[in-house]
Amino acid sequence: MINSQPSQEELDLMDAYWRAANYLSVGQVYLLANPLLREPLRPEHVKPRLLGHWGTAPGLNFLYVHLNRAIRKYDLNMIFVTGPGHGAPAIVANTYLEGSYTEFFSAVTQDAEGLQKLFRQFSFPGGIPSHTAPETPGSINEGGELGYSLAHAYGAAFDNPNLIVACVIGDGEAETGALAAAWHSNKFLNPARDGTVLPILHLNGYKIANPTLLARIEPDELSSLLRGYGYTPHFVEGSEPASMHRAMAETLDKVISEIVEFHRRARVEGESFRPRWPMIVLITPKGWTGPKEVDGLKTEGTWRSHQVPLAKVRTDPEHLAILERWLSSYRPGELFDDSGKLLPELAELAPKGDRRMGANPHANGGCLLKELKLPRVQEYSVDVPTPGTTHAEATRVLGAYLRDVMRLNTDARNFRVFGPDETASNRLSALFEVTDRAWDAQRVEGDDHLDPDGRVMEILSEHTCQGWLEGYLLTGRHGLFSSYEAFIHIVDSMFNQHAKWLDVASTEVPWRRPIASLNYLLSSHVWRQDHNGFSHQDPGFIDHVANKKAEVIRVYLPPDANSLLVTADRCLRSRNLVNVVVAGKQPELQWLSLKDAIHFCDAGIGIWGWASSDHDGDPDVVMACAGDVPTLETLAAVSLLREHLPELKVRVVNVIDLMRLQPKEEHPHGLSSAAFDSLFTTNKPILFNYHGYSWLIHRLTYRRTNHSNLHVRGYKEEGTTTTPFDMAVLNNIDRFQLVMDVVDRVPTLGSRAATVRQAMQHKLSDHRHYIVEHGEDMPEIRNWKWATTEQRPKC
Ligand X SMILES: Cc1ncc(C[n+]2csc(CCOP(=O)(O)OP(=O)(O)O)c2C)c(N)n1
CA distance 767 to 729: 9
Could you say which of Mg ion, ligand X, none residue 173 binds, taking C-beta under 5 to 8 angstroms by partner kind? ligand X
CA distance 339 to 342: 9
Q: Judged by CB under 6 A, which of 208, 217, 460, 754 binds ligand X?
A: 208
Contact 511, 104 (CB under 8 A): yes
Could you say which of Mg ion, ligand X, none residue 427 binds, taking C-beta under 5 to 8 angstroms by partner kind? none
Contact 525, 584 (CB under 8 A): yes
Q: Residue 509: how many CB atoms within 10 A of its CB?
A: 17
CB of residue 55 to Mg ion, shortest distance in Å: 7
CB of residue 145 to ligand X, shortest distance in Å: 5
Q: Judged by CB under 6 A, which of 147, 275, 452, 454 binds ligand X?
A: 147
Which of 171/569 has CB closer to ligand X? 171
| Span near ligand X by CB under 6 A; candidates 139-147, 221-229, 239-247, 418-426 | 139-147
Determine, following the binding rule CB under 6 A, whether residue 306 of this chain makes contact with ligand X: yes
Determine, following the binding rule CB under 5 A, whether residue 204 of this chain makes contact with Mg ion: yes
CB of residue 147 to Mg ion, shortest distance in Å: 13
| Span near Mg ion by CB under 5 A; candidates 172-180, 351-359, 384-392, 472-480 | 172-180
Total count of residues recorded for the chain: 795
For residue 85, count CB atoms less than 10 angstroms from its CB and return exposed for 0-12, middle for 13-18, buried for 19 or more: buried
Instruction: Find the DSSP H helices in 311-393.
Output: 317-328, 344-347
Which of 285/559 has CB closer to ligand X? 285
Which of 172/670 has CB closer to Mg ion? 172
Handedness of CA 257, 258, 262, 263 (dihedral sign): negative
Which of 41/178 has CB closer to ligand X? 178
Which of 54/158 has CB closer to ligand X? 54
Contact 380, 567 (CB under 8 A): no
Determine, following the binding rule CB under 6 A, whether residue 409 of this chain makes contact with ligand X: no
**Sequence-distant (≥ 6) Cβ neighbours of residue 491 within 8 angstroms:** 462, 463, 465, 466
Instruction: Find the DSSP H helices in 264-388.
Output: 317-328, 344-347
In the window 535-554, what residues touch ligand X (CB under 6 A)? none
CB of residue 620 to ligand X, shortest distance in Å: 53
DSSP-assigned letter for residue 675: H
| Span near ligand X by CB under 6 A; candidates 186-194, 199-207, 217-225, 240-248 | 199-207
Q: Judged by CB under 6 A, which of 47, 73, 202, 362 binds ligand X?
A: 202
**Sequence-distant (≥ 6) Cβ neighbours of residue 674 within 8 angstroms:** none
Which of 279/679 has CB closer to ligand X? 279
Could you say which of Mg ion, ligand X, none residue 435 binds, taking C-beta under 5 to 8 angstroms by partner kind? none
Determine, following the binding rule CB under 6 A, whether residue 56 of this chain makes contact with ligand X: yes
HEC per residue, 562-603: HHHHHHHHHHHHCECCEEEEECCCCEEECCCCHHHHHHHHHH
Could you say which of ligand X, Mg ion, none residue 306 binds, taking C-beta under 5 to 8 angstroms by partner kind? ligand X
Q: Judged by CB under 6 A, which of 115, 146, 398, 727 binds ligand X?
A: 146
Could you say which of Mg ion, ligand X, none residue 468 binds, taking C-beta under 5 to 8 angstroms by partner kind? none
In the window 71-90, what residues touch ligand X (CB under 6 A)? 84, 86
With b meaning 16 or more CB within 10 Å and e meaning fewer, what string describes 546-573?
bebebebbbbbbbbbbbbbbbbbbbbbe
Determine, following the binding rule CB under 6 A, whether residue 55 of this chain makes contact with ligand X: yes
Helices and strands (DSSP H and E) totals, the chain: 24, 22
Residue type, 548: K
Three-state secondary structure call for residue 498: helix
Contact 526, 537 (CB under 8 A): yes
Determine, following the binding rule CB under 6 A, whether residue 173 of this chain makes contact with ligand X: yes
H-helix or E-strand spanning residue 131:
none
CB of residue 795 to ligand X, shortest distance in Å: 50
CA distance 583 to 393: 10
Determine, following the binding rule CB under 6 A, whether residue 171 of this chain makes contact with ligand X: yes
Q: Judged by CB under 6 A, which of 161, 170, 309, 366 binds ligand X?
A: 170
Count of residues interacting with Mg ion (CB under 5 A): 4
Could you say which of ligand X, Mg ion, none residue 147 binds, taking C-beta under 5 to 8 angstroms by partner kind? ligand X
DSSP-assigned letter for residue 13: H
Q: Residue 792: how many CB atoms within 10 A of its CB?
A: 16
In the window 706-725, what residues touch ligand X (CB under 6 A)? none
Determine, following the binding rule CB under 6 A, whether residue 416 of this chain makes contact with ligand X: no
CA distance 178 to 146: 9
Handedness of CA 156, 157, 162, 168 (dihedral sign): positive
CA distance 769 to 775: 10
Contact 212, 30 (CB under 8 A): no
Which of 286/427 has CB closer to ligand X? 286
| Span near ligand X by CB under 6 A; candidates 32-40, 114-122, 168-176, 628-636 | 168-176
Handedness of CA 238, 242, 243, 244 (dihedral sign): positive
In the window 322-361, what residues touch Mg ion (CB under 5 A)? none
Determine, following the binding rule CB under 6 A, whether residue 172 of this chain makes contact with ligand X: yes
| Span near ligand X by CB under 6 A; candidates 165-173, 515-523, 604-612, 760-768 | 165-173
Determine, following the binding rule CB under 6 A, whether residue 305 of this chain makes contact with ligand X: no
Residue type, 259: I
CB of residue 199 to ligand X, shortest distance in Å: 13
CB of residue 26 to Mg ion, shortest distance in Å: 18
Determine, following the binding rule CB under 5 A, whether residue 172 of this chain makes contact with Mg ion: yes
CA distance 169 to 147: 8
| Span near ligand X by CB under 6 A; candidates 145-153, 474-482, 650-658, 680-688 | 145-153
| Span near ligand X by CB under 6 A; candidates 190-198, 204-212, 565-573, 655-663 | 204-212
Q: Judged by CB under 5 A, which of 135, 159, 171, 530 binds Mg ion?
A: 171
Which of 52/388 has CB closer to Mg ion? 52
Which of 164/282 has CB closer to Mg ion? 282
Could you say which of ligand X, Mg ion, none residue 767 binds, taking C-beta under 5 to 8 angstroms by partner kind? none
Residue type, 99: G
Q: Which residue is nearest to ligand X (CB)?
A: 170
Which of 178/377 has CB closer to ligand X? 178
Determine, following the binding rule CB under 6 A, whether residue 498 of this chain makes contact with ligand X: no
Could you say which of Mg ion, ligand X, none residue 55 binds, taking C-beta under 5 to 8 angstroms by partner kind? ligand X
The candidate with the shortest Cα–Cα distance to 725, out of 680, 764, 686, is 764
User: Cα-flanking dihedrals φ and ψ of residue 636, to 5°?
Assistant: -65, -40
Determine, following the binding rule CB under 6 A, whether residue 145 of this chain makes contact with ligand X: yes
Residue type, 651: R
Which of 84/558 has CB closer to ligand X? 84
CA distance 64 to 70: 10
The candidate with the shortest Cα–Cα distance to 462, out of 422, 416, 427, 504, is 422
| Span near ligand X by CB under 6 A; candidates 133-141, 205-213, 398-406, 556-564 | 205-213
- Per-residue CA distances from 221 to 150, 177, 227, 228, 330 (Å): 21, 19, 10, 10, 36
Determine, following the binding rule CB under 6 A, whether residue 206 of this chain makes contact with ligand X: yes
Angle between helical axes of 754-774 and 735-745 (0-180°, round to 10): 160
CB of residue 235 to ligand X, shortest distance in Å: 17
**Sequence-distant (≥ 6) Cβ neighbours of residue 509 within 8 angstroms:** 134, 135
Contact 414, 371 (CB under 8 A): no
CB of residue 22 to Mg ion, shortest distance in Å: 17
Residues making contact with Mg ion (CB under 5 A): 170-172, 204
Residues making contact with ligand X (CB under 6 A): 55-56, 84, 86, 144-147, 170-173, 176, 202, 204, 206-208, 212, 286, 306
